[in-house]
Amino acid sequence: MAIYAIGDIQGCYDPFRRLLDKLQFSPERDTLWLAGDLVNRGKQSLEVLRFIKGLDKAAISVLGNHDISLIASHYGLVKPHPSLKSIFKAADREELIEWLRHQPFLHVDESLGYCMAHAGISPHWTLAEAISYAKEIQIPLRGSTAKHWLENMYCNKPTQWRNDLQSYERHRYILNSFVRMRFTKPKGRLDFHLKKNPFENKRKHGKLSPWFLCPIRKQLPLKVIFGHWSSLGFYQDENVIALDTGCVWNHKLTAIQLNTEITTAVECP
């Protein structure tokens, strides 16, 4: 049995299937960890959703910012990206959205030594706190008031975590940390403007650093797998593995086998 983690697919169904063939993936034997952003920009988001949903327990996916945007579009809160038209015309749209909004924000496997979130885990949080906060925002997203809740999530503020944050402010910070975070300031304040590779032209970044190198970051007992940052590309150190290698931008789709940390990639498209 093999467990593979795969970066952002973003509707690139054909490269995804080519990668699975290259891995000789078998849903009866193996498991996929998917780092979120299953949809958007690529031409086959509908096929991606149907296939992953059909894998059932052989696939574990966390929610990314583009997945959240699809759900919000379904509720009429934001304009859907043109690449999502096939989903909105699909007879099984309601079923697919219902499945998607029940996916987690954080997946943890202590026995393997890994956890996974689309953008990462806020430098302020311990693993126990991250698990608790992920569950906290799963409740409204999965509930009957999901539309109203999402309507109040589209904002960059607050950018600084405080334990006494309440209501929508608290949930916005938690959501943005799990699905949108990249750079942070020295005391952990989120920055949503800079998206470039943090290891290139460092002088232009000022005091900003990638969240996983933030000076105040709490050390976690598990290695964090994340996507979301295509300009960073594949990156690995003793604490994190970044897997968004820009498939939708005609670069690569990358998988890593978790028990060996051997990577496999295919060219995109």
Task: Bin 114: left if φ > 0, else alpha if -120 < ψ < 50, else beta.
Answer: beta
Residue 112 and residue 203: Cα distance in Å, rounded? 37
Does residue 42 form part of some domain? yes
Name the domain count of the chain. 1
Domain that holds residue 242: 3-153+212-267
199, part of any domain: no
Amino acid at 172: R
Q: What is the pLDDT of residues 241-252, one digit of tens each?
A: 999 999 999 999
- Return the CATH number at 65: 3.60.21.10
In a domain, 60, yes or no: yes
- State residue 120's pLDDT score: 98
pLDDT band at 206 (very low <50, low <70, confident <90, very high): confident
pLDDT in tens, 111-128: 999 999 999 999 999 999
**Does residue 229 lie within any of the structural domains?**
yes
Question: pLDDT tens for residues 69-99?
Answer: 999 999 999 999 999 999 999 999 999 999 9
DSSP 81: P
* pLDDT surpasses 80 at 204: no
